[in-house]
């Protein structure tokens, strides 16, 4: 498999992971809006933007994982994407939680569950990317000679 094909497959994996993780995060953001008693008005453009951010932050790990099997390099690439995504998620999340005043216990419980879910999505994105990279459809077929 050529380097260009590996990079291309890495980019496809990043988009798939971004759509999956971004979609889940968007649903949890809707839960945060409901828990903080805000009107959950979400646009298609914003949803696609969130999926794009998740896809962009998945690129370093997905492309690196397709190019090398070295754990240190993969870890560094995964940490980079997760830290960037965690920064954006934390800054936005802190604003939402700070604006949540006078909530009932049930609303606070719902808010905490959604925030924990968002943190889990961010922290599990590298795992999702690596599962997709190692999937059957992203590996070379047996008819192709293995390149070193």
Does the residue 29 lie in any domain?
A: yes
For the chain, how many structural domains are there in total? Answer: 1
Query: What confidence score (pLDDT) does residue 148 get?
Result: 53
Query: What confidence score (pLDDT) does residue 22 get?
Result: 93
Does the residue 65 lie in any domain?
A: yes
Does the residue 145 lie in any domain?
A: no
Instruction: Sort 128 into a burial class: Cβ within 10 Å, 0-12 / 13-18 / 19+.
Output: buried
Query: What confidence score (pLDDT) does residue 139 get?
Result: 63
Does the residue 140 lie in any domain?
A: no
Query: What confidence score (pLDDT) does residue 70 get?
Result: 87
Consecutive 10-residue averages of pLDDT for the chain (148 residues): 87 94 91 82 88 94 90 91 89 76 84 89 92 75 50
Query: Domain range spanning residue 44?
Result: 3-135
In 10 A of CB 47, how many CB atoms? 17
Instruction: Sort 52 into a burial class: Cβ within 10 Å, 0-12 / 13-18 / 19+.
Output: middle
Query: What confidence score (pLDDT) does residue 143 get?
Result: 46
Query: What confidence score (pLDDT) does residue 111 get?
Result: 85
Model-level pTM? 0.82
Does the residue 91 lie in any domain?
A: yes
Does the residue 75 lie in any domain?
A: yes
Query: What confidence score (pLDDT) does residue 138 get?
Result: 60
Query: What confidence score (pLDDT) does residue 16 get?
Result: 95
């Amino acid at each position: 498999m050529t380097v260009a094909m590996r990079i291309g497959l890495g980019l496809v994996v990043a988009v798939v992971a971004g759509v999956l993780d971004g979609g889940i995060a968007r649903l949890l953001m809707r839960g945060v809006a409901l828990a903080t008693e805000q009107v959950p008005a979400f646009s298609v453009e914003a949803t696609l933007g969130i999926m794009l951010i998740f896809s962009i932050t998945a690129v370093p790990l997905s492309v690196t994982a397709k190019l090398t099997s070295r754990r240190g390099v993969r870890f560094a690439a995964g940490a980079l994407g997760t830290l960037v995504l965690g920064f954006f998620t934390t800054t936005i999340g802190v604003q939402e939680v700070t604006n949540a005043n006078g909530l009932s216990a049930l609303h606070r419980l719902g808010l905490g569950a959604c925030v924990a879910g968002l943190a889990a999505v961010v922290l599990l994105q590298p795992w999702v990317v690596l599962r997709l990279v190692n999937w059957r459809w992203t590996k070379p077929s047996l008819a192709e000679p293995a390149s070193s």
